Chains A and B, each alone.
Chain A
Amino acid sequence: MKGGFLFRGWKTLTSRGFCSLNDKSLRVCVIGSGPAGFYTAEKMLKAHERAEVDILDRLPTPFGLVRSGVAPDHPETKIVVNQFSRAASNERCSFFGNVSLGSDVSLSELRDMYDVVVVAYGAESDRSLGVPGENLTGIYSAREFVWWYNGHPDCRYMAPDLKCTDTAVVLGQGNVALDVARILLRPTSELQTTDIAEHALISLQESTIRKVYLVGRRGPAQAACTAKELREILGMKNLQVHIQAADLVISPADEEELKASRIQRRVYDLLCKSATSHQGHDFAGQQELHFIFFRKPDEFLPSEDQSRVEGVRLEKTCLKANGLSRKQVAIGTGQFEDLDCGLVLKSIGYKSVPVDGLPFDKYRAGVVPNLKGRVLSGDQPENVNIEQGLYVVGWLKRGPTGIVATNLYCAEETVTSILEDINEGLIALRSGSPKPGRQGLLQVLEDKNIRFVPFRGWEKIDSKEKLEGQLRNKPREKLTTWDELLKVALGR
């Protein structure tokens, strides 16, 4: 396109001028390069013409869960990386991959170096159920399983055994639960043309799993998934969907809940439609998906030699009003039933990992206390301080819920707070002794002999992966070990 060429020419001509930012630059460090981090960087660059934004990530690769969370069979959801890459190619933006907050550089060091620090490192751990047997072999968090099939280098060698059983139990009924169920049940002929990690594809090709149970504590009126994901799995070819008709009967309290939420109403309608349309169409040998409502895990049952999981004991639940909230909670009824299975994936929520110097609310799902993105500290409610120059965005700010786009609004809010604070003079842009920003970071990394991966390094990984993918008719073949990633990115 003509305009594009013209623009690129103009950009080259003026890039040198842009680079020599004066001392009044606003030095911004964003920790984490997932959607929250990148939307924040993008909006910061747009909103403040002297903002210089450095994005750090502990991985050599950017884009966080767009790369390691979004399912391989959802390529459209990943298109947003085009927008993020454009932000990264801005002259005032730099990417520092392979830099780990805490071990390579501390939060307090970064706060000394930058005018504004935004923590956006998400949630890299899992909530636990706290029921007996949770550590048995064959039980994984859905996060680990997702990282594994998406080629995250930290789960490269997880090697879940998919050949010892025909049944998997997924605890939870949110979108992540539907993702892992779909990947387990989807014909591998359909997966092999996605960017799924090769090791996972091979393992799934050999998988003997043909039944997946999706277990939820509450009912179909409270299912936590979105209609899009549900519609997709319910429409899968050669998949027999089982939903107990009795579970679909709803109470007046359920109706109230449904009335209040368009999304839950549509999810409930889809489940009802599926329950009627699947009646009397059972064929032997088909893959099966069972929705199990009103059950909560009570304990995991070990095999005879105690070596691995062989089943889950579920307690039946019923719903009860929850104080003033319209939402009902599930409580146990004291009735139990066992479900045999050889694989359990816990999809009950992610949890953020604390880091030194960052106020953390360990009782509230690992969220950083904040006021519209401004990080708050203080033990007592009456003694709250705003941490100057420190902001939070994404899952660390809101808790681990929402979709990619949720981070757009979340980032707008945090960036608005930053701009307000600049206008109010709360962020001091001392022209006399400006903060070192990028230079300071480079110095620390050099002193510690840490080789960071610049965006150019990621582009090398990207090209290599796309090239390897071409040979196998996949959009990309992901590099899945730290060694490979660093070797390609740094050329060593």
Chain B
Amino acid sequence: MKIMQNARVQDDTDTNRLLVNWLLSNSQISTIQRDLKTGPFSPFLCPMGKFSFSNTASGQTTEEDGKDKETISVTFLNKDGEEKVIEVPVGMSMLEAAHENDIELEGACEGSLACSTCHVIVMDVNYYNKLEDPTDEENDMLDLAFGLTETSRLGCQIVAKPELDGIRLALPAATRNFAVDGFVPKPH
């Protein structure tokens, strides 16, 4: 189902800001963990030869292992709204790309569609509509995501393709307002 309205973005609270500050202030440690994390994700190491798209995307073509590799530009908005632009090879998921680039995106199940921790919000509904509809399985996981919006997706299920060049993804400033008796999924 495609939708025509803008994404709702979470309120920024003091707590969020504090959280972000400490996340950012320890980027070195994060990098170390991230390096280790990339281990299990390997599909993108396969030759990218078959993705030899022509000029639909404005991404650059880089030389790697003697093969052409098309990339698209993706902007991640951190939890405090800070932007980071990265180049993502076509065929790579946003979860892998985030981890390659030290972006604080969790990935508890390492992309096996068994958790909701790599939840991202597509900032522009036009880009959201360029994505394949989420499967039932992805929707089942999105049910459990914090700060769900109309344009929420799982990072592991968004795979870079030329049409997505320029996409902007926000990491949800997931709610820190815990009800004491447990989390109630946000109405959607």
Question: A residues near B, CB below 8 A?
Answer: 1, 3-4, 7, 45-49, 74, 76-77, 79-80, 82-83, 86, 226-228, 231, 259-263, 266, 364-365, 367, 370, 372, 397-399, 401-406, 408-410, 412-413, 416, 419-420
Contact = CB atoms under 8 A, between A and B. Distances in A.
Interface in B99-117: 106, 108-110, 112-117
B108 A408 contact: yes
B26 A405 contact: no
Contact of A416 (B18, B33, B117, B139): B18
Contacts, number: 139
Contacts of A82: 40, 110
Q: Is the interface of B mostly helix, strand, loop or mixed?
A: loop
A227 B19 contact: no
Interface of B: 15, 18-19, 22-23, 25-26, 29-30, 32-33, 35-40, 45, 106, 108-110, 112-117, 136-137, 139-141, 143-144, 146, 148, 174-176, 178, 180-188
Given A76-B112, A405-B117, 11 more contacts: A1-B45, A7-B35, A76-B109, A226-B143, A228-B140, A261-B185, A262-B185, A262-B186, A370-B180, A403-B115, A405-B116
B110 A266 contact: no
A80 B112 CA distance: 11
Contacts of B187: 259-262
Contacts of A49: 26, 29
Contact of A47 (B26, B136, B146, B175): B26
Given A4-B35, A228-B137, A408-B106, A372 B40 contact: no
Nearest to B36: A86
A112 B28 CA distance: 31
Nearest to B115: A405
Nearest to B19: A416
A401 B180 CA distance: 11
A420 B108 CA distance: 26
A254 to B, nearest CB: 15
Contact of A231 (B36, B109, B136, B174): B136
Given A4-B35, A47-B26, A405-B117, A413 B112 contact: no
Nearest to B15: A416
B181 A263 contact: no
B18 A1 contact: no
